[in-house]
Amino acid sequence: MRRQLISCVSLMVGLAATSFSVAADEAYRAYSEPAATYLRQFAKKSGRVFVLERFDSDGRLVDRTVDEIQGDVLIDSATDRTIAGRKIRLRGLEACPTEKVIYNRMQTWSCQDAAKDYAGTIYNHRASVVLCKTLLLSNQAEGTIPASCFILVGGDGEPFRTVYDDDSMVFLGIASIGRTADGQSRRLDLEGTQALSQSMGFQNAD
């Protein structure tokens, strides 16, 4: 059931992405979705790996760290994860725009529970590599890193593919796009995904 839901989300997100064009922005090309073949270079025969890539304002890679993930990835909220001891927040997104969501086909779930179920399954039961990308060049040890995260799933007879965490949370109605003080979108790249999610009625499950 969960694999079917994950596959459905990936398919619908892909359809949404082809329906909307986004103005080119050199700085944010750093956040482009990596191919599964790129992520597989970091994979190990056993265990999971967390890769954190830092980019400058021109979209150039300036730093990369690779750490083994020991224990569970914590799904602290719809937009917050603790991965290998680092606190990550999905950039430009707001958690749980509604208290209830339609999840797992036609079931009504609390938004927080749906986030933990979906993201927890991806990160803790299906992932082999987790890659998060950020424009934050440095941060305090306890600071939260704004990033976009991509997860390599597959293997054992299943094709390898990339799951885009930001897209999935928005599509499922578990997160929404943040706005600036003057109402501008903080994630133009996900506007199509959010529109599709809203048309399918995942939010406001009451």
Reduced 3-state DSSP string for 180-200: CCCCCECCHHHHHHHHHHHHC
Cα 67 from chain centroid (whole Å): 19
Q: Tokens for 94, please give them.
A: 């707001």
Nearest to 101 by CA among 1, 4, 2, 197: 197
pLDDT tens for each residue of 76-98:
999 999 999 999 999 999 999 99
- Residues with Cβ within 8 Å of 80's Cβ and at least 6 positions away in sequence, in order, are 87, 88, 89, 90, 95, 144
pTM: 0.85
pLDDT in tens, 95-115: 999 999 999 878 999 999 999
Domain ranges of the chain: 2-14+26-129+142-182
| pLDDT surpassing 50 at residue 21 | no
